[in-house]
């Protein structure tokens, strides 16, 4: 009886450890993947804080019934970096401090962007 209990406990431990280590790593760049229009936010590129040392920001107005959002992209906007350019984009909110000189805004990572 003691032998069966130890064997069952050992097999359970092996299964538990195997299940915990079977996670798959996913790599890739979301900037290249197509994105659905339903997930997009719209906004306008602004150089409002560039003179203070901040990179260009995006003023988002996805829901006109609420206040606009000031988003601070932490990655480069590349060819979209033109003051006043209307854009559609997806983003992820980052939990980092605001860069100095950017005023009130939310640091974000832009996962996809295109001209409106």
* pLDDT (tens digit per residue) in 34-73: 444 456 788 999 998 888 888 999 998 766 666 788 899 9
Multiple choice CATH, 37-115, 1.10.3470, 1.20.1530, 2.40.50, 2.60.40? 2.40.50
Question: Which residue, among 41, 40, 47, has the nearest Cα to 84 in the 3D structure?
Answer: 47
Strands (E), 38-116: 41-46, 57-60, 69-73, 86-93, 106-115
In angstroms, the CA 51 to CA 73 distance is 16
Q: Is 12 a residue whose pLDDT tops 80?
A: no
Model confidence at 29, in pLDDT bands (50, 70, 90)?
very low
User: Is residue 94 within 8 Å of 107, Cβ to Cβ?
Assistant: yes
Q: Is 22 a residue whose pLDDT tops 60?
A: no
CB atoms within 10 A of CB 65: 4
- What are the extents of the domains in the chain? 37-115
Cα angle 27, 28, 29 (rounded to 5 degrees) comes to 145
In angstroms, the CA 61 to CA 39 distance is 14
pTM of the model: 0.63
């Amino acid at each position: 009886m003691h032998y069966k209990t130890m064997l069952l406990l050992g097999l359970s431990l092996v299964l538990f450890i195997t299940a915990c280590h079977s996670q798959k790593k996913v790599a890739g760049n979301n900037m290249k993947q197509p994105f659905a229009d339903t997930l997009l936010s719209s906004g306008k590129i602004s150089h409002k804080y560039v003179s203070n040392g901040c990179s260009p920001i995006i003023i988002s107005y996805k829901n006109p019934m609420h206040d606009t959002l000031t988003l601070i992209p932490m990655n480069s906007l590349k060819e979209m970096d033109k003051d006043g350019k209307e854009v559609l984009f997806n983003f992820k909110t980052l939990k980092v401090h605001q860069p100095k000189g950017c005023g009130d805004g939310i640091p974000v990572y832009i996962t996809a962007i295109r001209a409106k």
